[in-house]
Structure 1
Amino acid sequence: MPPKKKTKKTMKKIQERSDNDLEAKYRRSVLDIAVLQDHIAVQCESVRTVQSDRVDLRRRMRDMEQTLQHERQDHRDVNSDFSRQYKTMQIELTNKVKRLEKEVSRLNEELALCQEELRKERREREQMEQEKDTAMNDLQHKMDNMETDYEKILHDTLDSLTSQLPVTRQRREDESTTLHQHHKALLSEFGLNARDM
């Protein structure tokens, strides 16, 4: 069979169908383009947001790195300062320990000298106390002997005086009587009576 000849009507239908297909394709393409443009706009906005976030993050990261560097430097400075203070304190403490050890050694020597001096003083004091006790005992013994001697002398003297007392009394009475008589005689010579006086 030979091919059918296309009629004008068929041709026209084909043409219209073709135009409809083209128009549908065109509309679909326009819609796809609009969707793609929206998608690209969303993607561009997303990219801009991501870039902005990236810039912010980089800036924050730089700030944090600087802060970290400052903190590290501060930490190094603090460590350095602590090390210096520690060394200074260690040197001061070592010097103080040496000074105190010398002081302790000197004080121990002084203590030993003082203890020796104290022992010497105690020995001398004990010796002096013994000598004093001996001297006091000797003096007490001498005083006891002197007391005994004085008592003996006193008793002898008292005995002697007691024995001489009657003789002395008699002699005094005799002398008194003689003196009395003499005064009486003198008064009578002057013509006075002794009883009137």
Structure 2
Amino acid sequence: MGKGKGKGKKNDGGGEGGAELTPMEVAKLLQAENLALQRQLAERQEEATKAMASRREIQNRVIELKRDFEDEQKQTFQITADMTRQYKSMQEELLTRINILENTINELNDKLEQANASIDDMKKERAEVIAQKDAEINEHKQRMEDMAKEFGDMLKETLDKMGERIDVSGKGWENESAGVVQQKLAEFKV
């Protein structure tokens, strides 16, 4: 490999004066070359063994990293799926709450409109009742004034008639007593 093989003779300048090597020298030379090749082979086998061990370690590490990567991927997928489920669940819950609150708002707005309409109706009714009562009060006042006027007229008429009768019958009475009666009648006149 390194120095070449011969069939018994070798001309490599190993002998003195370029003489041919004896078979014993050739055997020693080949034996030395064999030892060197065996050492070299052992070194290369050792390097190959180390390389194979290193390769196995790297392959094991790659397999381990792949496994870790797959585990991480699975965990990430599970976490993502879980977060997606939670997000969708929360979204549905919030949409449900929004719908419920919108329905509540609509119901309260309807009730408010009904209450406002009821208040407006009550105000109208109250205004009508007040107007009716005011009309009745004015009518009663007018009747009372008319009755008071009639009563005053009747009283005046009665007093006038009584005064005439007293005058007629009082001519016979003394002047003193007639003055007192007329004074009392004057107090009753309106």
Shorter chain as denominator, the TM-score bin is: 0.5 to 0.7
Residue 61 of structure 2 corresponds to: 42
Deviation at 1:134, TM superposition (A): 7.6
State the Cα deviation string for residues 144-170 of structure 1 (Å, max 9, x = none).
x7xx99xx99978x9xxxxxxxxxxxx
Provide the rounded CA distance (Å) in 2 between the counterparts of 1:59 and 1:20: 57
Matched, 1:113 2:132: yes
Deviation at 1:106, TM superposition (A): 1.8
Deviation at 1:75, TM superposition (A): 1.6
Task: Give the alignment partner of residue 60 of structure 1, picking from 76, 79, 103.
Answer: 79
Give the AA of the match of 1:116: A
Residue 46 of structure 2 corresponds to: 27
Deviation at 1:14, TM superposition (A): 2.8
Q: Which moved more, 1:61-70 or 1:41-50?
A: 41-50
Residue 102 of structure 2 corresponds to: 83
Deviation at 1:133, TM superposition (A): 7.2
Give TM-score scaled by structure 2 length: 0.59
Any unmatched runs of 5+ in structure 2? Answer: 1-9, 15-25, 178-190
Provide the rounded CA distance (Å) in 2 between the counterparts of 1:28 and 1:135: 154
Change (3 A) 1:132 1:9: farther
Any unmatched runs of 5+ in structure 1? Answer: 159-197
Change (3 A) 1:4 1:108: same
Change (3 A) 1:8 1:128: farther
Deviation at 1:8, TM superposition (A): 3.6
Query: Which ranges of 4 or more aligned residues in structure 1 deviate by more than 6 Å?
Result: 130-136, 152-156
Change (3 A) 1:11 1:154: farther
The percent identity for this pair of structures is 11
State the Cα deviation string for residues 17-61 of structure 1 (Å, max 9, x = none).
222222112112212222232232233223222222221221222
Q: Which is helix-richer, 1 or 2?
A: 1
Give TM-score scaled by structure 1 length: 0.57
Residue 98 of structure 1 corresponds to: 117
Flag the structure with more relative contact order, 1 or 2, with Cα contacts below 8 A and sequence separation at least 6.
Answer: 2
Provide the rounded CA distance (Å) in 2 between the counterparts of 1:155 and 1:9: 204
Residue 89 of structure 1 aligns to a residue in which SS?
Answer: helix
